[in-house]
Amino acid sequence: MHINRIDYSDGSEWVLELKRYALAIEYDGRDFSGWQIQPRMVTVQGEMERAVAKMAGHEIRVHAAGRTDAGVHASRQIVHFDTAVQRPITAWVRGVNSFLPSGIAVLWAREVPNHFHSRFVATARHYRYLLLRHPVRPSLQAGRVGWIHYDVDVDKMRAAAQHLLGEHDFSSFRAAECQALSPIKLLQRIEISEQGNMLCFDFSAGAFLHHMVRNMMGALLHIGKGNEEPEWMAWLLAQQNRQSAPPTFMPDGLYLTGVTYPAEFALPTEPEYRYGLI
């Protein structure tokens, strides 16, 4: 708990006890220019801060576990904020939801200790990419899944993915505008599964570079189409050069599905794929 003191000219003081709250939220990224606030843009952070501020009655800064790009979705993004306002915990769920646009929803709220930080104490982020294989473009799922009209060799993509596991310099998969201090990341998990004509790509890492997942998707599909053999992925990784890699794949099917935190916080933040796929 934070303590803020406001001293008045008459010698009195007002002590504010700031409590920290963690929220899990989901959102449809099609409606927003990414998570982070940008001038003259509608963003998830901007809408969250507006809604939480209405419930709290004062300005609020909302911090997130990860900054998703425009068009990227979340089924379990974790955010936190501080306030001295006393509200029932349900107010930070149903009350905040009443002020949010339909593309964003709070799933749950928890009070957390003041050393919790949604971004800095996270130990892993989990993403899933949903890719539809179908001869014609989707309509009902448009913007919510990636799409290819051709078939791919899933076994070759699985073999290629093994070269990405572990700690590497991922410069070949890093966007030019990436602000990360280091391109070295530890990719803890990459799995490819099939559910009918849907391919599910699961990625877990302590942190990701800007566009890293979408760039890995581009390389995996390049191999899946038969343009290269699986061993080419190791060569590409060793180049440490974005110019050597295939184009960035579309954002449509990418979801932030969960965030791992130390057990001390007891937060239900792991992916659970509530809707069968995400």
pLDDT given at position 8: 45
pLDDT given at position 6: 45
Radius of gyration of the chain (CA): 21
pLDDT given at position 13: 54
Distance CA 234, CA 217 (A): 15
Reported in sequence order, the residue ranges of the chain that DSSP labels E, i.e. its strands, are 2-7, 13-27, 63-64, 73-83, 104-112, 124-133, 146-148, 166-169, 184-195, 198-205, 254-260
Q: b/e map of 249-276 (b: 16 or more CB within 10 Å)? A: bbbbbbbbbbbbbeeeeebebebeeeee
Distance CA 122, CA 195 (A): 30
Give the residues of the chain that fall short of pLDDT 70. 1-15
* Residues annotated catalytic, as ranges: 69
pLDDT given at position 104: 98
Residue 122 neighbours by CB distance under 10 Å: 19
pTM of the model: 0.93
Is there a binding annotation on residue 8? no
pLDDT in tens, 196-234: 999 999 999 999 999 999 999 999 999 999 999 999 999
